[in-house]
Amino acid sequence: MIKECTRTRMLKVLKLDVTMENIHCTSTILRRIFPGILVMIFVITFYKIFNDQQIITPKCSFDYLRGYFAKTGKYHSKGKWSENAWQPDGCILPKSDKSDQMRFIERNKLTSILVLGDSTAYRYHDAIQIQLDGIYGRRNCKAEKLEGLTDAKPFLPDREYFAEIPDVVTRERGCGGCHSITYSCNTSRASPKITTEFLSMDYFMDTSVTTRRETRTKTCKPNLTQFESWGVGCGSSLTTQEFIFNEYLATKTSSQYPQLIILVANFHDIKRHNVNSFKRTLTWFMDIVNQSTKEHPDTKIIWFQPTYILQTNQPIEYHNMISQTRNSELYENVKEVLTKYFDDNSGRFVPFYSLEDISHGVPDLNVDGIHYKKDFFIRIIQLFFDTLVS
């Protein structure tokens, strides 16, 4: 009956030969094929929705964070803490494990990371060391160089750390727990050796490590490597920032030069600047970073916003000097200085997530109003590596 229906009567139906037998045949066929049609429609619709979702929801990469800032003028802050990790909304961020991170390091030939800042930056660097210990194995990692700060002078930089640079002059820092360190990890396999370094810089303009060369004192050295492209006979660095970028980093080979530079916003400048003077200082500093790194176009410079200051945990003597109100006011008003670099087509400068908002969500991890527990920094650096891998 069905064969006759499909072969003969269906042709009549298609020719608009409408009879009761043909109508009955058509309804029989529809009853047989209709469930299959529904299944096909469901599969096609689900496939389209799934693929559209993949297209619409981007990965939480640094390119995405840069684009988000360009579009909104804000650091990405949408997200929530869940199971000891902060998970962003609006983009896809799978959690990476040590195998994923090692593959990223090998694929991108990542060999050098530099972290700059105050005691908060020091803690981020410590968390990076812990992360690398997990990737390479603790026994394959070691401190190669460490500032030997003594108990008698805990705030004085160690000239031996910068021994390859002549004529170094040091003065006390404003940070006692900010000693510079070079840390490296290596294995016997084909994985590249990776070096991570923290350089203490508790202000965006200071004189804790400088050089001063004068014709009068016959200390000029016209053949210094770091100034050979300048065409000057007596190059000097009158600030720590010029020393770091124009001299110390300039002596590194292309394979040693950091591929990732993390600039961590400090808290020390809050107590000595108003908005206008801070804007001038940060403009000057960012110009030094930009000019000195141009010869290394593959180097990424990543900006870490300051964390939230929890005043209830802060010693009362600091309330009038370092407050969350001042913290937010200063860094919010200098965003235009940073925007210039984030918008640069080279893509060398990128923002990280809103660490102010992220840290505000975990007051239990705040120690003294400014500093957070080690767990906080470990979680943020996991977020950092997840974003790198993404």
Q: How confident is the model over 306-338, as pLDDT tens digits?
A: 999 999 998 887 777 789 999 999 999 999 999
Helix axes 374-389, 62-72, angle to 10 degrees: 100
Q: Across residues 339-357, what is the average pLDDT? A: 95
Which residue from 208, 214, 139 is spatially nearest to 179, judged by alpha carbons?
208
- State residue 46's pLDDT score: 61
Give the predicted TM-score (pTM) of the model.
0.85
Comparing 63 with 188, the larger pLDDT belongs to: 63
Q: Across residues 283-303, what is the average pLDDT? A: 96
- Report the CATH number of the 62-206+258-389 domain: 3.40.50.1110
> What is the distance between the alpha carbons of residues 91 and 67, in angstroms, rounded to a whole number?
12
Joined together, the tokens standing for residue 66 give: 């840069």
Least confident of 34-43, 75-84, 192-201, 311-320: 34-43
- State residue 13's pLDDT score: 46
3-state helix, strand, coil in the chain (%, to 5): 45, 15, 40
- State residue 319's pLDDT score: 72
| Neighbouring residues of 117: CB distance < 8 A, sequence distance ≥ 6 | 124, 201, 202, 262, 263, 264, 265, 266, 304
Residues 349, 355, 358, 359: what is their CA dihedral angle, to the nearest 10 degrees? Answer: 160
- State residue 128's pLDDT score: 98
Comparing 120 with 2, the larger pLDDT belongs to: 120
The burial of 226, by beta-carbon neighbours within 10 Å (0-12 exposed, 13-18 middle, 19 or more buried), is given as buried
> What is the distance between the alpha carbons of residues 288 and 243, in angstroms, rounded to a whole number?
10
Which residue from 239, 231, 332 is spatially nearest to 278, judged by alpha carbons?
332
Q: How would residue 1 be classed by pLDDT, with cut points 50, 70 and 90?
A: very low
* Comma-separated ranges of CATH 3.40.50.1110 domains in the chain: 62-206+258-389
Joined together, the tokens standing for residue 74 give: 């804000």
> What is the distance between the alpha carbons of residues 379 and 390, in angstroms, rounded to a whole number?
16
- State residue 153's pLDDT score: 63
DSSP three-state, residue 36:
helix
* pLDDT exceeds 50 at position 73: yes
> What is the distance between the alpha carbons of residues 147 and 60, in angstroms, rounded to a whole number?
36
Number of CB atoms found within 10 A of residue 147's CB: 19
- State residue 47's pLDDT score: 61
> What is the distance between the alpha carbons of residues 229 and 323, in angstroms, rounded to a whole number?
44
Least confident of 103-117, 138-152, 354-368: 138-152
Q: How would residue 3 be classed by pLDDT, with cut points 50, 70 and 90?
A: very low
> What is the distance between the alpha carbons of residues 237 and 212, in angstroms, rounded to a whole number?
7
- State residue 281's pLDDT score: 98
* pLDDT exceeds 50 at position 2: no
Contact 166, 247 (CB under 8 A): no
* pLDDT exceeds 70 at position 48: no
- State residue 70's pLDDT score: 95
Average pLDDT over all residues of the chain? 88
* pLDDT exceeds 90 at position 378: yes
The torsion angles phi and psi of 182, rounded to 5 degrees, stand at -115, 125
| Ramachandran category for residue 199: left, alpha or beta (phi over 0 → left; psi -120 to 50 → alpha) | beta
